[in-house]
Amino acid sequence: MTHSKPPLWRDHRFWQIIVQLAAVICAILIVVILGLNLNRNLQQLGIKFGFNFLQQEASFDIGETILSYQPTDTYTRALLVGLINSLRVAIAGIFLTTIVGITAGIARLSDNWLVRNISLVYVEIFRNTPLLLQLFFWYFAVFLSLPNVEHKASVLGLIKFSQNGIELLGLNFSPEFSTLLLGLTFYTASFIAEIVRGGIQSVAKGQWEAGRSLGLKPSLIMRLVVLPQALRVIVPPLTSQYLNLAKNSSLAIAIGYPDIYFVASTTFNQTGKAVEVMLLIMLTYLTFSLIISFLMNLLNHTVQIQEK
Amino acid sequence: MQEQTQIIVAENVHKWYGKFHVLKGVDLIVDRGEVVVLMGPSGSGKSTFIRTFNALEDYQEGSIRINGITLSNDLRNIELIRQEVGMVFQQFNLFPHLTILNNVTLAPIWVHKLSKIKAKELAMQLLERVGILEQANKYPGQLSGGQQQRVAIARALAMQPKIMLFDEPTSALDPEMVREVLDVMKNLAREGMTMVIVTHEVGFAREVADRVILMDSGSLVESATPELFFTAPKQERTRKFLSQIL
Amino acid sequence: MQKIQLTWLRKNLFNSWYNSLLTILCLLLIIQFIRKFVWWTIAEAQWQVVQVNLPLFLVGRFPQTSYWRLWIVLGIITFLIVITWSVFITQKNLIKHKFINLLVPWLAPTWLLSCPLILWFMGGGLGLQSISTNLWNGLILTLLMAVISIVISFPLGILLALGRTSNLFIIRWFSILYIEIIRGLPLIGILFIAQVMLPLFLPTELRLDRLIRGIAGLVLFSTAYMAENVRGGLQSIPREQIEAAKALGLPTPLVIILVVLPQALRAVIPAIVGQFIGLLKDTSLLSLVGLVELTGMSRSILAQPQFIGRYAEVYIFVGLLYWVFCYSMSLASRRLEKQLIN
């Protein structure tokens, strides 16, 4: 700024550099100390860092696979099978929870007292209890107490319930998969319902009145006027709910559905490779997060543009 | 010797926002006790210019000296200068989470290290001076715009500055409240405070200012006594500007 | 009277043919459900499992002779909650009560200081008979883990949020890196890191209690979310507030402490309550890493031979416990939110 130079320690640029330098040094120190500890601890345990174990024989069985898999396959194959199982439940979950969530959210604003309050009770129950507990409930209290295969309960012959899971139009879903899917769907949907309700309510009352004054039917006003505006408010928090669902799918381990986390955890138990396995898990979920964020950003972009 | 009379000395001040050249080598000298009114169309850089005086904006070339202290990257100088220079903003910018009293005592307590009792005494004095004494325990949100702006003036005065900067102090006010704020400012001028004021209030400028300056696209266009400025401007640009606002 | 009821019915349940249809359908479903549920509750369910194990659910295997210590802890927490609540509620009338006004600056430190006090009462030592953390189970452990974790992650979250919004490039990127990595990971993974990997990263001599590792995991996790919540508050403060404070000659640290944070934190209280509710539910995951909190306790009770298969009873009861806490807090948070808007 000026040509007279103040002493170094009174120049704020100097401090900015010093503080950042200190942060970097601290970070490096911490990493080095932790790394040294890790090295020493691993040596004591007789474990060597490295990803070679991925080529070894997994020698454990996986209950549910889409890819063909045998215990003689490698860990890589096992993890891949787990990854696909994760994706399967996450994608199906996101799809279902969107439907249930939007339905419940709109029901919260219904002019039918009964519908409104059923939705309210649903939202308040599912939002305010732990997902893990809900999963246990679905799995142990619901699925395990269903009739066994010979005496399936069925709804209109389309969906059949039994201890062996759900049979829908000839497709068979294991009780573990069904539990996880239902659990994730209904838990996440209770949050989405509130987001949808908030989004719709955020649209100014004048918009309804303007729609009505044009002679539009309520359903049309909802579809043409209110929802497009509500989406602007809905999409960003919806993204974080999808992310939550994807991350929560890791609770599969609690009920024995072989998702990526479950398989990775088994891998760790057999090989003791904690750091490597954790890095793989981190990589997987960060990739999930990035993909979902990317797709939702695209959606958000189109939704926001509609405004102008 | 010059330093005795000249309290603000800005020489050849340049500032860029990225590629945009906001201040194009502005020179300004303000004497002690002088009241200078800066006028100009919006975007002419007048707010930016006075905000360089207390380092709310930095500048890339030239020099600014305030009461003999050079404004630079020197942290201590910046702090010293901010204590010498009070500022009043267009949007008042009172702290909404503090009472009126605490708004005024905040800086004296934390910067001048005054005791709470002393600071309160000082604040009460100032609030009385701007006519808000009975509202001292309310929160800013409970006051009208004019009252808030008067509190903002008291808050700035609490640091006992040698210079007061006003950045369009009446532009955000309802018309009926402009007067109460201008009255406070007039009193301040009468008491001999050095003031640099960005405003569009022509009547006020005529009555109070020692000097009126027109600024346009980052340069000073004309500087004259209010008499000459409003009745016999020399520059074509000034005439045009006056025809737009009068 | 009857007429009013009839018009209410018409207006709210039968105002069009499809609403009437919906109403009847819903009624049928509800009646069916309630009939089955009531029948199950009264006739089929065996609630002895809850009755017999009630102390286990609530306080775990904490020695009965030391229950008085738990009562004191409960007293301290209740006191803190009442004080905190009254501070926020009285802010409705902007001129605050003098006494409560005095309390405000002490609030956060009191919460922080009460943490070691509570731990002392629970764990003993220094004159009290020490009680192993293995005996801290059930609901009390759930609450304890949630409260301690949120209290620790509060100041850390604020620092991280300040780092995230700092104009110092490296500090900002470190903060972003931490926040985004943690938020990208499932909690179970973070608890795994804390349980299994933390000991690997620490010197061999340093053996951390399982409970401490659990808290470490929750804090690692919760801090990142806290930082994002606080950042929302920081960004809601207009730049002019900072300029006004600077123009008064306040140095940057004071600007943050006196002007920015008080406003920012007030704005994010509802979000933080929401986060606490989430954390309370998330403590259930500790049962997967070997801690016997409420969910873990329910599983070990279900393993008792005489109560095998009483899943529904146990999970419904435990769910109810969680629900009471979460729901009452969400009500409180909504009330606060309304108050902050007005």
Mutation target to probe the A interface, by most A beta carbons within 10 A, among B14, B73, B76 is B73
* End position of a domain, from candidates C131, C164, C184: C131
Rounded to the nearest angstrom, the gap between the alpha carbon of residue C4 and the centroid of all alpha carbons in its chain is 43
For residue A37, being part of any structural domain is answered with no
Q: CA A174, A176, A182 angle in degrees (round to 5)?
A: 100
Q: Is A224 on the interface with C (CB under 8 A)?
A: no
CATH of the domain at A240: 1.10.3720.10
Contact A133 C319 (CB under 8 A): yes
- CB-count burial class (<10 Å; 0-12, 13-18, 19+) for B124: middle
pLDDT-above-70 percentage for chain C:
94
Q: Give the pLDDT score at C106.
A: 79
Report pTM.
Answer: 0.88
User: Using CB atoms, which residue from B58, B63, B74 is nearest to A11?
Assistant: B74
d(CA C309, CA C296): 16
For residue A274, being part of any structural domain is answered with yes
Q: CA A190, A192, A196 angle in degrees (round to 5)?
A: 120
Lowest mean pLDDT among A204-218, B48-62, B132-146: A204-218
Q: Give the pLDDT score at A125.
A: 96
Q: Is C284 on the interface with B (CB under 8 A)?
A: no
Range(s) of the domain holding residue C77: 66-131
pLDDT of C223 higher than 90: yes
For residue A41, being part of any structural domain is answered with no
d(CA C269, CA C279): 15
Range(s) of the domain holding residue A72: 59-303
Instruction: Show the DSSP H helices in chain A as ranges.
Output: 12-45, 75-107, 113-127, 131-136, 175-202, 205-213, 218-220, 227-248, 252-255, 260-271, 274-305
Compute φ and ψ for C17, nearest 5 degrees: -65, -35
> Is the same domain home to C94 and C192?
no
For residue A52, being part of any structural domain is answered with no
| Nearest chain B residue to C241, by CA | B93
For residue A164, being part of any structural domain is answered with yes
**Could you tell me if C304 and B135 are in contact, meaning their C-beta atoms sit under 8 angstroms apart?**
no
With a CB cutoff of 8 Å and minimum separation 6, the contacts of C272 are C150, C154, C226, C229
Strand partners, B24: B14
| Nearest chain A residue to B63, by CA | A2
Q: Is C254 on the interface with B (CB under 8 A)?
A: yes
For residue A35, being part of any structural domain is answered with no
d(CA B47, CA B166): 9
Compute φ and ψ for B195, nearest 5 degrees: -135, 135
Q: Give the pLDDT score at B91.
A: 92
Q: Give the pLDDT score at A131.
A: 97
Q: Give the pLDDT score at A110.
A: 87
Q: Give the pLDDT score at A3.
A: 46
Q: Is C330 on the interface with A (CB under 8 A)?
A: yes
d(CA C265, CA C268): 5
Q: Give the pLDDT score at C167.
A: 86
> Is the same domain home to C95 and C157?
no
Q: Is A111 on the interface with C (CB under 8 A)?
A: yes
**Which chain C residues are closer than 8 Å to A37 by Cβ?**
200-204
Q: Is B138 on the interface with C (CB under 8 A)?
A: yes
For residue C246, being part of any structural domain is answered with yes
CA dihedral A171, A177, A181, A187 (to 10 degrees): 150
For residue C244, being part of any structural domain is answered with yes
For residue C311, being part of any structural domain is answered with yes
Instruction: Show the DSSP H helices in C16-66 as ranges.
Output: 17-39, 48-59
For residue A17, being part of any structural domain is answered with no
* B210-221: average pLDDT: 93
- CB-count burial class (<10 Å; 0-12, 13-18, 19+) for C219: buried
With a CB cutoff of 8 Å and minimum separation 6, the contacts of C58 are C138, C139, C140
For residue C37, being part of any structural domain is answered with no
Compute φ and ψ for B24, nearest 5 degrees: -110, 65
> Is the same domain home to C113 and C238?
no
| Nearest chain C residue to B138, by CA | C95
Q: Give the pLDDT score at C258.
A: 93
> Is the same domain home to C211 and C164?
yes
For residue C14, being part of any structural domain is answered with no
**Which chain A residues are closer than 8 Å to B59 by Cβ?**
1
d(CA A259, CA A271): 18
CA distances from C93 to A201, B151, C87 (A): 28, 21, 11
Lowest mean pLDDT among A10-19, C251-260, C289-298: A10-19
> Is the same domain home to C179 and C319?
yes
User: Using CB atoms, which residue from B72, B75, B78 is nearest to A2?
Assistant: B72
Provide the shortest C-alpha distance from residue B242 to chain C (in Å). 31
pLDDT of C339 higher than 80: no
- CB-count burial class (<10 Å; 0-12, 13-18, 19+) for B93: buried
Strand arrangement, sheet containing A171-173: A153-155, A159-162, A165-168, A171-173
Tell me the one-letter amino acid at B1: M
**Could you tell me if A285 and A247 are in contact, meaning their C-beta atoms sit under 8 angstroms apart?**
yes
C200 pLDDT band (50/70/90 cuts)?
confident
**Which chain B residues are closer than 8 Å to A11 by Cβ?**
73-75
> Is the same domain home to C122 and C265?
no
* End position of a domain, from candidates C81, C108, C131: C131
Q: Which residue stretches of chain A have pLDDT < 70?
A: 1-6, 150, 156, 305-308
Domain count, chain A: 1
> Is the same domain home to C202 and C337?
yes
For residue A16, being part of any structural domain is answered with no
**Which chain A residues are closer than 8 Å to C287 by Cβ?**
132
| Nearest chain B residue to C253, by CA | B110
The overall average pLDDT reported for chain C is 87
pLDDT of B40 higher than 60: yes
| Nearest chain A residue to B76, by CA | A10
Q: Which residues of A72-91 are buried (b: 16+ CB within 10 A; e: fewer)?
A: ebebebbbbbbbbbbbbbbe
Strand partners, B11: B63
B74 pLDDT band (50/70/90 cuts)?
confident
* B90-96: average pLDDT: 93
Q: Which chains touch C (3 or more CB pairs under 8 A)?
A: A, B
> Is the same domain home to C149 and C273?
yes
For residue C40, being part of any structural domain is answered with no
C168 pLDDT band (50/70/90 cuts)?
confident
Q: Is B70 on the interface with A (CB under 8 A)?
A: yes
Tell me the one-letter amino acid at B233: P
Helix (H) or strand (E) holding C327, with range, is helix C311-341
Q: Which residues of C257-274 are buried (b: 16+ CB within 10 A; e: fewer)?
A: ebbbbbbbbebbbbbbbb
**Which chain B residues are closer than 8 Å to C268 by Cβ?**
none
ipTM of the complex: 0.91
For residue C49, being part of any structural domain is answered with no
Percentages (nearest 5) of helix, strand, coil residues in chain B: 40, 25, 30
Domain count, chain C: 2
Look-up of token digits 């989430």: C278
**Could you tell me if A133 and A146 are in contact, meaning their C-beta atoms sit under 8 angstroms apart?**
no
For residue C334, being part of any structural domain is answered with yes
C108 pLDDT band (50/70/90 cuts)?
confident
* C70-99: average pLDDT: 73
pLDDT digits (tens, 9 = 90+) for C7-56: 888 777 777 888 888 888 889 999 999 999 899 888 888 888 888 889 88
Mutation target to probe the A interface, by most A beta carbons within 10 A, among C311, C318, C320 is C311
**Which chain A residues are closer than 8 Å to C200 by Cβ?**
37-38, 41-42, 274-275
Q: Is C252 on the interface with B (CB under 8 A)?
A: no
Q: Whose CA is closest to A59, among A78, A45, A39? A: A78
d(CA C209, CA C198): 11
d(CA B211, CA B201): 14
pLDDT digits (tens, 9 = 90+) for B217-244: 999 999 999 999 999 999 999 999 999 8
Compute φ and ψ for C39, nearest 5 degrees: -55, -45
Q: Whose CA is closest to B85, among C249, C265, C254? A: C249
* End position of a domain, from candidates C92, C114, C131: C131
Contact B79 C251 (CB under 8 A): yes
CA distances from B153 to A211, B89, B111 (A): 49, 9, 18
- CB-count burial class (<10 Å; 0-12, 13-18, 19+) for A120: middle
* C313-341: average pLDDT: 89
**Could you tell me if B39 and B214 are in contact, meaning their C-beta atoms sit under 8 angstroms apart?**
yes
| Nearest chain B residue to A14, by CA | B73
Q: Whose CA is closest to C60, among C332, C314, C300? A: C300
Compute φ and ψ for B193, nearest 5 degrees: -70, 140
| Nearest chain C residue to A243, by CA | C184
d(CA C241, CA C252): 12
Helix (H) or strand (E) holding C241, with range, is helix C239-247
Compute φ and ψ for B183, nearest 5 degrees: -60, -45
Q: Give the pLDDT score at C219.
A: 96
d(CA C292, CA C221): 20
